[in-house]
Chains A and B, each alone.
Chain A
Amino acid sequence: SQKIEQNSEALNIQEGKTATLTCNYTNYSPAYLQWYRQDPGRGPVFLLLIRENEKEKRKERLKVTFDTTLKQSLFHITASQPADSATYLCAFSGGYQKVTFGTGTKLQVIP
């Protein structure tokens, strides 16, 4: 079965630096890969979606890459701010309707 791994349970980074989060998967490449932000005690908030045939997607300070050869997606936050501190989840949707989530990486941006 498909397994999704987010490399770090937690990541600390200095304000102003670029945060890079990794999402790896096994088996087949998903048709769609999504990144969400989740704050404590709240539901996830959608950030970006990238399709299997896309290499990169950008939205303001966010960038997502999708490498089907490495079976990996990278999520970058440039010029990180303390307000970016949250848990970030990657999620897959393949040939089915449902979305499968990774366990998340808790990002802490230190002022």
Chain B
Amino acid sequence: GAVVSQHPSWVICKSGTSVKIECRSLDFQATTMFWYRQFPKQSLMLMATSNEGSKATYEQGVEKDKFLINHASLTLSTLTVTSAHPEDSSFYICSAQEGQEQNNEQFFGPGTRLTVL
């Protein structure tokens, strides 16, 4: 199956700093990428949907100025958590799919564990 990577796999940062997480599709072109957040013992919550070359669509309640998403190429999307606070500590997971059809399989990355001190 298709492979999606995330970097870093874990990161610890101080409160107030910014953290960038990369999501790459390694062997296919990802027209659409999704960013999710997962708190312990909870399900994945979609944060935003990004299509290559256009602005991301954020879910209700997700601050677009705090969670900056860039999908500059068909193989790379980045999520930047700006001015991170301890409540932003979570497991961030990206997924990627070819095309924009809703029945296209999404391939998930391994996730990034963010801890904000």
Contact = CB atoms under 8 A, between A and B. Distances in A.
Interface of A: 31-32, 36, 41-46, 49, 51, 89, 93, 96-104
Given A89-B43, A103-B42, A41 B106 contact: no
B25 interface: no
B63 interface: no
A42 to B, nearest CB: 6
B110 interface: yes
B105 A46 contact: yes
A46 B107 contact: yes
B107 A93 contact: no
Of the listed residues B44, B59, B95, the one surrounded by the most CB atoms of chain A closer than 10 A to its CB is B44
B43 A104 contact: yes
Interface in B1-59: 1, 4, 6, 32, 34, 41-46, 49, 59
Contacts of B41: 103
A42 B10 CA distance: 11
Interface string B82-100: 0000000001010100001
Contact of B102 (A36, A97, A101, A102): A97
Contacts of A51: 103
